[in-house]
Amino acid sequence: MYEVELKVRADHDRVSERLDAIGASATGTVTQEDHYYDAPHRTFAETDEALRLRHERDDGSETTRITYKGPLVEQDSKSREEFETAVEDAGTMDSILRKLGFEPAAIVEKRRSRYEYDGYTITLDTVAGLGEFVEIEIEIEAKTVAPARDGAIEILEALGVDPDEQIRTSYLELLLEGDAQQ
């Protein structure tokens, strides 16, 4: 499975009004704490990969998922192969990773308000140390990356956000680069 994602810095108040105007459906708000790991056998920063253990909380539940993200598959979006599955015991998973030589690299904390529109997930992210962003994403088969990306661009435009301001780096990379909002 592939994830096609576009991310832009954006004022949430302005985007929220536009989400209402286009008829997007609010699906909830969550808090996420993403624990990233470095591999013992290669440097993810060089290979453009990521291994993440995500703890997610909403009003009534808490879940943990482990995700591998492959390198970007095109230059026009943040599209990449992605594998993800649920984890029953976060502490045990962390211990397994460490025993295999994976070392904690960084933690990214964010609050996400999610919306659905035309098959896409739209999130308004407030990332600790970075500020406010809007992300538009969809999971697809590899052969449909370009049309999915073009659909995400259309949604950004409908939200009054300039797709040319797209950020193709992850929140982790932005934090490690010290790219805090001015």
Residue 172 within any structural domain of the chain? yes
The CATH number covering residue 46 comes to 2.40.320.10
Q: Which amino acid is at 96?
A: I
Quote the tokens at residue 73: 């598959």
Residue 182 within any structural domain of the chain? no
Burial letters for 2-35: b for 16+ Cβ neighbours within 10 Å, e otherwise? Answer: bbbbbbbbbebeebbebbeeeebeeeeebebbbb
Q: What pTM, to 2 d.p., does this model score?
A: 0.88
36 is catalytic: yes
Number of domains in the chain: 1
Predicted pLDDT at 179: 60
Residue 132 within any structural domain of the chain? yes
Residue 102 within any structural domain of the chain? yes
User: For residue 53, what are the domain limits?
Assistant: 2-177
Predicted pLDDT at 2: 86
Residue 74 within any structural domain of the chain? yes
- Active-site residue, selected from the candidate residues 2, 36, 120, 171: 36
- Report residue 10's pLDDT band, with 50, 70 and 90 as the boundaries: very high
DSSP assignment of 114-160, as one string?
EEEETTEEEEEEEETTTEEEEEEEEEE-GGGHHHHHHHHHHHHHHTT
46-100 pLDDT, tens digit each: 999 999 999 999 988 999 999 999 998 887 788 889 999 999 999 999 999 999 9
Residue 30 within any structural domain of the chain? yes
Residue 25 within any structural domain of the chain? yes
109-121 pLDDT, tens digit each: 999 999 999 999 9
